[in-house]
């Protein structure tokens, strides 16, 4: 861990050779008046919007929408199946069926999914749009669209993988978020925060060179509205992953036959774009994890590698220095456009030889292994944050 002490608050970095843009953003955060103790950068840290991806902060009395991120509730889930072997032919059939039942990229379901799959309105027994609109205007206005988006993967670095663990079992892993619902909530409340900061002469963009650090006091209506809608998006993102996992399990049963392959009741789920009230160093603070996951002592989590490299089931060590957090993945080392321009397609295909779903075109290089940090280095840099329980090697992958 490296410590930077040049700013108002210290910056603790578990990443080596962190890019200049991310360091600049970390310094902006460290100079905010409501930061508790210090700012953290996980081993997968890289520049984001306002706050780096792989950043963790604890704030006193305020919430920063862009320190949560636009894909609210984005996260990982994994299920260990009872299978110990699976053939290439079975994998191909299963992946083909998954593609038929789970839309990827910008695609949605052609029909609205059952309303009972949606999260309930907090403090209510209802799922309905009518009740949601009363409590949460943005989620309410997006409700009908969300009914076609639940159970869909999304684009970018979202993925579905079938993996073989060093425990001898076949695993299923999903990385996905809250789709357009979270995006709309994030954008709306960031604009509200910017307007209020200008009104209060707390002009974060002017003072810190970023337009992504506007905040909402927790004790305002706007702050409470954001927290409520954020939590609904976190719940929706989980519901989204659960529906996909159910349909993947159905694909396994149809291809391999009925059997006790695993259950979503045994699912490991961990979000990496959210904020929660937690007690650290004797104070109740709002911990923002943007591209970072909770790693409290004994908590089982997931740290995926890049496309074609190992992923890990881990156990948190509860390190207080990181606000009990760890990385959410390998972390990008180059942007998508740079990856397409600089990476060699044949070389990336060779890295993924034997894995179904390897890059086929130059455009696929956006998510190729070479666009990401070495997951082995990332795991080495956070040995004081988590311990590895299971290493998972990819057998087949579907990218968003």
Q: Is 362 within a domain?
A: no
Give the separation between CA 391 and CA 94, rounded to whole angstroms: 22
Residue 365 resides in a domain: no
Whether residue 305 is contained in a domain is answered as yes
Q: How many domains does the chain have?
A: 1
**Residue 348 belongs to some domain of the structure:** no
Q: Cite the beta strand spans of the chain per DSSP E.
A: 2-4, 11-13, 35-46, 53-59, 62-63, 75-80, 159-165, 170-176, 216-217, 268-271, 273-280, 283-290, 292-294, 300-303, 311-316, 325-327, 386-399
Q: Is residue 145 part of a domain?
A: yes
Q: Distances from the Cα of 71 to the Cαs of 273, 274, 303, 336, 386, in angstroms?
A: 7, 9, 18, 18, 25
CATH number at residue 23: 3.90.1860.10
In which region does residue 389 sit, left (phi positive, over 0), alpha (psi from -120 to 50) or beta (all else)? alpha
How many beta carbons lie within 10 A of that of residue 283, not counting itself? 11
Nearest CA to 317 out of 378, 383, 390 is that of 383
Residue 59 vs residue 363, higher pLDDT: 59
**146: domain range?**
2-333+372-399
Distances (CA, A) of 216 to 38, 59, 191, 261, 280: 20, 11, 11, 46, 21
CB 34 within 8 A of CB 272: no
Structure-block tokens of residue 206: 């002017």
- How far apart are the C-alpha atoms of 388 and 400, rounded to whole Å? 27
DSSP letters, 375-389, are: HHHHHHTTTTTEEEE
- Separation of first and last alpha carbons in the chain: 33
Q: What is the pLDDT of residues 320-363, one digit of tens each?
A: 999 999 999 998 888 889 999 999 999 988 888 889 988 888 88
Helices (H) and strands (E) in the chain, counts: 11, 17
What tokens appear for 285 in the block?
């603070």
Q: Contact, 359 vs 344, CB < 8 A?
A: no
pTM for this prediction: 0.94
Q: Give the strands of the sheet with 75-80, arranged side by side.
A: 268-271, 75-80, 170-176, 159-165, 386-399, 311-316, 300-303
Helix (H), strand (E) at residue 93: helix 88-101
Whether 361 maps to a domain, the answer reads no
Distant-in-sequence, close-in-space partners of 27: CB < 8 Å, separation ≥ 6:
4, 6, 7, 11
| Alpha carbon distances (Å) from 265 to 49, 80, 81, 159, 260 | 35, 11, 12, 21, 12
Each residue's pLDDT tens digit, 269-297? 999 999 999 999 999 999 999 999 999 99
Asked whether residue 240 carries a pLDDT value surpassing 80, the answer given is: yes
Which residue out of 169, 280, 328, 347 is catalytically annotated?
328
Predicted pLDDT at 174: 98
pLDDT for res 206: 52
Q: Is 295 helix (H, G, I), strand (E, B) or coil?
A: coil
Confirm whether 236 is domain-assigned.
Answer: yes
Residue 155 within a domain? yes
Q: What would the pLDDT profile of 107-156 be if each residue is shown by its tens digit?
A: 999 999 999 999 987 766 666 677 778 789 999 999 999 999 999 999 98
Q: How far apart are CA 10 and CA 2, in angstroms?
A: 10
Q: What is the pLDDT of residues 174-214, one digit of tens each?
A: 999 999 999 999 999 999 999 998 888 775 655 454 567 89
Structure tokens at 25: 């953003």
Q: Is 328 in the active site? A: yes
CB-based contact 321:300 (threshold 8 Å): no
């Amino acid at each position: 861990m490296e410590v930077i002490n040049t700013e108002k608050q210290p910056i603790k970095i578990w990443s080596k050779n962190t890019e200049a843009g991310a360091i600049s953003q970390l310094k902006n955060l460290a100079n905010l008046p409501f930061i508790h103790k210090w700012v953290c950068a996980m081993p997968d840290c890289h520049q984001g919007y306002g706050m780096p991806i792989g950043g963790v902060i604890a704030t006193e009395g305020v919430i920063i929408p862009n320190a949560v991120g636009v894909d609210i509730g984005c996260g990982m889930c994994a299920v260990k199946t009872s299978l110990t072997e699976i053939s290439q032919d079975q994998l191909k059939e299963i992946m083909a069926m998954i593609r038929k039942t789970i839309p990827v990229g910008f695609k949605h379901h052609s029909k609205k999914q059952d309303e009972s799959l949606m999260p309930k309105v907090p403090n209510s027994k209802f799922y309905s749009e009518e009740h949601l609109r009363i409590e949460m205007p943005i989620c309410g206005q997006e409700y009908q669209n969300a009914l076609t988006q639940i159970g869909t993967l999304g684009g970018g670095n979202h993925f579905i993988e079938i993996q073989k663990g060093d425990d001898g079992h076949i695993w299923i892993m999903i990385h996905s978020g809250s789709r357009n619902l979270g995006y709309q909530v994030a954008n709306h409340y960031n604009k509200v925060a910017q307007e209020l900061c200008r009104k209060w002469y707390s002009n974060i963009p002017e003072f810190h060179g970023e337009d992504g650090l506007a905040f909402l006091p927790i004790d305002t209506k706007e702050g409470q509205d954001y927290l409520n809608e954020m939590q609904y998006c976190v719940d929706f993102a989980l519901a989204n992953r659960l529906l996909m996992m159910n349909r993947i399990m159905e694909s396994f049963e149809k291809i391999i036959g009925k059997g006790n392959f695993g259950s979503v009741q045994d699912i490991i789920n961990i979000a990496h774009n959210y904020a929660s009230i937690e007690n650290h160093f004797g104070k109740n603070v709002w911990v923002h994890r943007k591209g970072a996951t909770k790693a409290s002592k004994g908590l089982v989590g997931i740290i995926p590698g890049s496309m074609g490299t190992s992923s890990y089931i881990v156990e948190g060590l509860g390190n207080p220095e990181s606000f009990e957090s760890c990385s959410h993945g390998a972390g990008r080392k180059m942007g998508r456009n740079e990856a397409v321009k600089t990476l060699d397609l044949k070389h990336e295909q060779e890295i993924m030889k034997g894995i179904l779903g390897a890059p086929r075109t130059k455009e696929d290089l956006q998510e190729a292994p070479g666009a990401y940090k070495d997951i082995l280095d990332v795991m080495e840099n956070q040995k004081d944050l988590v311990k590895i329980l299971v290493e998972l090697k990819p057998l087949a992958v579907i990218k968003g």
